[in-house]
Amino acid sequence: MRTRRDRLSTVLVTVAVAMFLTLAPMPAWLSMLWPYWVALVLIYWCLETQGLVSLGLAFSLGLVLDLLTGSLLGLHALGLVIIVYLVTRFRARLRFFPPWQQALAMLALLLNDRVVMLWVLSLRGEPMPPVEYWLSALIGTAVWPWLFLLLDRYRGVMRQRVTS
């Protein structure tokens, strides 16, 4: 049986990769479209493990992301906390959704996050962002099934490595 620490480190490795992807350089048009990797990865772990991804963890990971990307401190923390809360709240239902329904739920979550972010940005006096801003949520949804399979694979491998 794996200890909580083992499992947590598995989660953190994937989150680190997600942050790496977030920071990876890319042309300006793509950076708006780039999916919210950290959120997607956290959603996966929320769905698949029980009580491992707490609100506190989401908050602190959000703060790290804020520091890394230089955004307003607390912006990503707020977004991730809300996402993790919603997922844990509806976890039992979400897990047994058929894939397409689950993808729709992801779309709703990501769009909700965009709305929250837009609210904060507009308080700061930023202009209305371009359409790409919203497309990012769509792309995140499209990526979701593949990411899900990939993370499942990874989790399987890690589990075997510990038990064998």
Partner 1 sequence: MVGTGTGEVSRFFDTGGQTARLMLYVLLSVVLMAMDHQGQYVPRARSLAAQALEPIYHVVEWPVRAVRNLYGQFESRRSLRHENARLRRELLAQQGELQRLQTLQEENRRLRALFVGAESQPYDYRFAELLQVDLDPFSHRVLIDRGERDGVRAGQAVIDGGGVLGQVEDVRLHFSSVRLISDPNHALPVQINRTGLRTVAFGQGETARLSLASVPREADVRVGDLIVTSGLGERFPGGYPVAVVSAIDRGEGQTFAQVEAAPLAALDRGREVLIIHAAEPPATEGPATDGAPDAAPTNAQADEEPAETTDAPAPAAAEAGRQEGEE
Q: Least CB distance from residue 111 to partner 1, whole Å?
A: 17
Q: Least CB distance from residue 107 to partner 1, whole Å?
A: 21
43 C-beta neighbours (distance < 10 Å), count:
27
Residue (53 or 106) nearer to partner 1, CB = 53
Q: Which of residues 80-119 bind partner 1 (CB under 8 A)?
A: 81-82, 85, 88-89, 91-92, 95
CB 80 within 8 A of CB 59: yes
For residue 137, give the 3-state DSSP assignment: helix
| Tokens coding 88 | 């844990």
Residue 25 engages partner 1 in binding (rule: CB under 8 A): yes
Site residues for partner 1 per CB under 8 A: 2, 7, 20, 22-28, 31-32, 34, 48-52, 55-56, 58-59, 62-63, 67-75, 77-78, 81-82, 85, 88-89, 91-92, 95, 120-121, 124-127, 129, 155, 159
